């Protein structure tokens, strides 16, 4: 994919976001509808998209790339956790929790698959799924504790949420099918592929509904701008250094950098509202980084080769 094609892809994704925002503004998608679409996407469409990506021929090169990608992801999560210990200490607790969460949880779960699939095809979705394993684990463990630090955390419940997350279950099943090269009935593979192919349109519509909840003129301030630089420039730059140090191949390096350079995770606003943190600031961070990523992602894709 050349740079012109990448800008065309970004334009298409942005157009889908605008459609989602319009549907939300017109109340064709209300709050309940947004929740239903989000649940459908997380529990069905994205897992099917992940499983679909595993239905490819397996070889040792893919195994090696997945192993190195997983290592790169673990290193990046460790870096983020260490940075969270001190870089946001000057903020009030309600805002600090949001920034810490947004640092370890990008919007890769939503935006990652459509972009990876468009640029790298099914192998990109597979690599993305592997790279996001540590993020999903940290999201439901450490990420949760940022907001519920004063409450007793049920470790068994956290472990259950992590291990039974639909996206991780899809990875388990998909890797089994890929390694064993088992031939599934055509009706199963066709159903999974049809559902998985809904991923790009549905996820971007959902992101659009998030954009619709905030006035664009209110999102630009010093804090959101500084965090956008951190989230979209500094962290992917670190991922590029880590990837080059580990000797990742071109596709793996691109996935590592792009997934790290995704905007802040939309769940930040949900957690902030649920646990009395700065929900408005969380939403502004999500919207600001989402809009700015339309400019930064093509640049990182080019730099990552």
- Nearest to 212, CA basis, from 26, 37, 39: 26
* Residue 98, SS3 per DSSP: helix
| Predicted confidence pLDDT, tens digits, the chain (305 residues) | 566 667 777 778 788 888 988 999 898 988 888 888 888 888 898 889 888 878 877 778 888 999 999 999 999 999 999 999 999 999 988 899 899 999 998 988 777 878 888 888 888 888 998 898 888 888 877 877 777 655 555 667 767 766 777 878 888 888 888 888 888 899 999 999 899 888 778 877 887 887 787 777 778 888 999 999 999 999 999 999 999 999 999 999 999 999 999 999 877 877 776 677 787 888 888 888 988 988 898 889 888 87
Return d(Cα 36, Cα 30) in angstroms, integer: 10
Contacts of 221 (CB under 8 A, 6+ apart): 284
Read off the DSSP letter of residue 71: H
Report residue 190 CA to chain centroid gap. Answer: 25
φ, ψ for residue 213, nearest 5 deg: -80, -5
Burial level of 11, CB count in 10 A (0-12/13-18/19+)? exposed
pLDDT of residue 257: 95
pTM: 0.80
Return d(Cα 271, Cα 142) in angstroms, integer: 13
Helix (H) or strand (E) holding 210: helix 199-211
pLDDT of residue 243: 94
Angle between helices 113-131 and 3-25 (to 10 degrees): 100
Return d(Cα 234, Cα 134) in angstroms, integer: 20
pLDDT of residue 101: 92
CATH number for position 254 = 1.20.1530.20
| Contact between 69 and 256 (Cβ < 8 Å) | yes
Contacts of 234 (CB under 8 A, 6+ apart): none
Return d(Cα 283, Cα 59) in angstroms, integer: 42
- What residue numbers bound the domain in which 13 lies? 3-303
Q: What are the Cα distances from residue 14, in Å, to 8, 38, 129, 266, 295?
A: 10, 18, 23, 16, 11
If phi over 0 gives left and psi between -120 and 50 gives alpha, with beta otherwise, what is residue 276? left
pLDDT in tens, 132-181: 888 888 887 787 777 765 555 566 776 776 677 787 888 888 888 888 88
| DSSP per residue, 159-189 | HHHHHT-HHHHHHHHHHHHHHHT----HHHH
* Domains: count for the chain: 1
Angle at 28 between CA 27 and CA 32, to 5 degrees: 75
């Amino acid at each position: 994919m050349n740079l012109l094609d990448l800008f065309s892809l970004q334009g298409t994704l942005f157009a889908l976001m605008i459609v989602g925002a319009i549907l939300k503004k017109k109340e064709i998608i209300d709050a309940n509808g947004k929740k239903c679409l989000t649940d459908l996407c997380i529990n069905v469409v994205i897992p099917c998209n992940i499983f679909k990506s595993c239905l490819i021929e397996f070889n040792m090169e893919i195994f090696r790339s997945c192993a190195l990608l997983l290592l790169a992801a673990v290193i990046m999560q460790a870096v983020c956790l260490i940075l969270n210990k001190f870089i946001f200490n000057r903020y009030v607790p309600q805002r600090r929790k949001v920034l810490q969460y947004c640092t370890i949880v990008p919007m890769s779960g939503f935006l990652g698959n459509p972009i990876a699939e468009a640029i790298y095809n099914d192998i990109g979705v597979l690599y993305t799924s592997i790279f996001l394993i540590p993020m999903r684990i940290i999201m439901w463990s450490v990420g949760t504790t940022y907001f519920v630090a004063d409450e007793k955390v049920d470790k068994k419940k956290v472990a259950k949420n992590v291990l039974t997350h639909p996206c991780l279950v899809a990875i388990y099943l998909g890797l089994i099918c890929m390694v064993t090269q088992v031939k599934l009935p055509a009706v199963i593979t066709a159903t999974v592929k049809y559902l998985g192919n809904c991923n790009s349109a549905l996820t971007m519509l959902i992101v659009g509904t998030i954009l619709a909840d905030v006035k664009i003129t209110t999102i630009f301030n010093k804090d959101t701008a500084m965090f956008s630089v951190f989230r979209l420039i500094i962290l992917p730059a670190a991922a590029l250094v880590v990837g080059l140090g580990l000797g990742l191949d071109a596709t793996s390096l691109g996935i590592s950098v792009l997934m790290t350079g995704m905007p802040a995770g939309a769940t930040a606003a949900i957690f902030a509202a649920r646990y009395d943190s700065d929900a408005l600031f969380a939403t502004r961070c999500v919207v600001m980084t989402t809009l700015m990523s339309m400019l930064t992602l093509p640049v990182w894709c080019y730099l990552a080769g």
